[in-house]
Amino acid sequence: MFIPPHITSQNYPSYEDAKKTLEEKGLEIGGYIRISTKKDSQKSSIGNQKKLLEQWAEVNGYKLSKIYIDVKSGEYTYLRNEINHMFEDAKQGKIKGVVSKEIARTSRDVMDIISIKRTLSDYGAFFISIKENYDSRTDDDEFLLILHGALAQKERKTTSSRVKVTQLIKAKEGKTNVPLPAYGYMLSEDRQKLVVNPETAPVYRQIVEKFFNGWGQLKIAKWLNEKGIKTRRGGQWSTNGIRTILSNPVYLGVTIYNVTTLIRDSKGRQKRVIRPQEEWIVRENTHEPLITQDEFDKIQVLMRHKQEKYQHEWSCDRKYLGSSILRCATCKGKIYGFNVKPKRKKKDNQYSFYYRCQGINGKCEGKMKSWDMQTIDERLLLFIKSFFVDKDKLLSTMKRNVNFFSEDPSGLINKRERCRLKLEKAVEAIKKQQLAYEQDVINLEEYKERITELREEKNTLQQNIDSLNHKLEKLDNAENLVNELFEIIKNHVENIDELPLEEKFTLIGHFSEIYIDENGNIVDAKFRI
Residues 386 and 284 in one domain: no
Q: Is the pLDDT reported for residue 132 higher than 70?
A: yes
Question: For residue 258, what is the domain's CATH number?
Answer: 3.90.1750.20
Residue 196 sits in the same domain as residue 301: yes
Residue 46, pLDDT above cutoff 90? no
Same domain, 376 and 279: no
For the stretch 365-409, pLDDT in tens is 656 688 888 898 888 888 877 776 666 665 565 555 544 334 455
Total domains present in the chain: 3
The 3-class SS string of 406-424 reads CCCHHHHHHHHHHHHHHHH
Q: What is the mean pLDDT of residues 433-458?
A: 83
Q: What is the pLDDT of residue 529?
A: 53
pLDDT tens readout for residues 482-504: 566 566 566 666 667 777 777 77
Weakest-pLDDT range from 10-24, 325-339, 446-460, 482-496: 482-496
Q: 283 and 340 share a domain?
A: no
Structural Rg of the chain based on CA atoms: 34
Give the lowest-confidence range in 78-92, 111-125, 184-198, 354-368: 354-368
Portion of the chain with pLDDT greater than 70, in percent: 73
Last residue of a domain, one of 245, 280, 310: 310
| H or E segment to which residue 350 belongs | none
Residues 31 and 139 in one domain: yes
Helix, strand and coil content of the chain, in percent to the nearest 5, comes to: 50, 15, 35
Residue 92 sits in the same domain as residue 241: no
Regarding whether 506 and 373 lie in a shared domain, the answer is yes
pTM of the model: 0.39
The partner residues of 71 in beta bridges, in order of sequence, read: 35
Same domain? 368 vs 496? yes
**What's the CA gap between 335 and 515, in Å, rounded?**
9
Residue 336 domain-assigned (yes or no):
yes
Any idea what the CATH number is for the domain that residue 49 is in?
Answer: 3.40.50.1390
- Examine residue 442 and state whether it is found in any structural domain, yes or no: no
7 within a domain of the structure (yes/no): no
* 371-384: burial string, b at 16+ Cβ within 10 Å, e else: bebeebbebbbebb
Residues above pLDDT 90, as percent of the chain: 15
Do 387 and 515 lie in one domain? The reply is yes
Taking a C-beta distance cutoff of 8 angstroms, is the pair 332, 279 a contact? no
- pLDDT at residue 1 above 60? no
Q: Does pLDDT of 236 surpass 70? A: yes
Rounded to an integer, the average pLDDT of 49-55 is 90
pLDDT of residue 196: 92
Q: Is 232 helix (H, G, I), strand (E, B) or coil?
A: coil
State the average pLDDT over residues 115-136. 89
Q: Tell me: pLDDT of 8 over 60.
A: no
Identify whether 470 is part of a domain.
no
Task: Check residues 142 and 173 and name the one with the higher pLDDT.
Answer: 142
Burial class (CB in 10 A: 0-12, 13-18, 19+), 219: middle
| pLDDT score at 160 | 58
**Longest pairwise C-alpha distance within the chain:** 101
If asked whether residues 192 and 303 sit together in one domain, one would say yes
- Strands (E) in 254-294, as ranges, are 255-257, 260-264, 270-274, 281-283
Does 428 reside within a domain? no
pLDDT given at position 366: 57
Burial of 151 (0-12, 13-18, 19+ CB in 10 A): middle
Confidence of residue 64 (pLDDT cuts 50, 70, 90): very high
Using DSSP's 3-state secondary structure scheme, residue 526 falls into: strand
pLDDT tops 70 at residue 84: yes
pLDDT digits (tens, 9 = 90+) for 405-432: 344 555 777 888 888 898 888 888 888 8
Classify residue 65: in a domain, yes or no.
Answer: yes
Tell which residue, 220, 211, 224, has the closest CA to residue 302: 211
Whether the Cβ atoms of residue 81 and residue 10 lie closer than 8 Å to each other: no
Write the pLDDT tens digit of every residue in 155-165: 766 665 565 66
DSSP classification of residue 334: B
Shared domain for 189 and 113, answered yes or no, is no
Residue 316 lies in a domain: no
In a domain, residue 175? The reply is: no
Last residue of a domain, one of 285, 310, 335: 310
What is the rounded average pLDDT for all residues in the chain?
78
Q: How confident is the model at residue 313 (pLDDT cuts 50, 70, 90)?
A: very low
Residue 67 and residue 125 in one domain: yes
Structural domain range at position 348: 326-403+492-527
Angle of CA points 178, 182, 186, to nearest 5°? 75
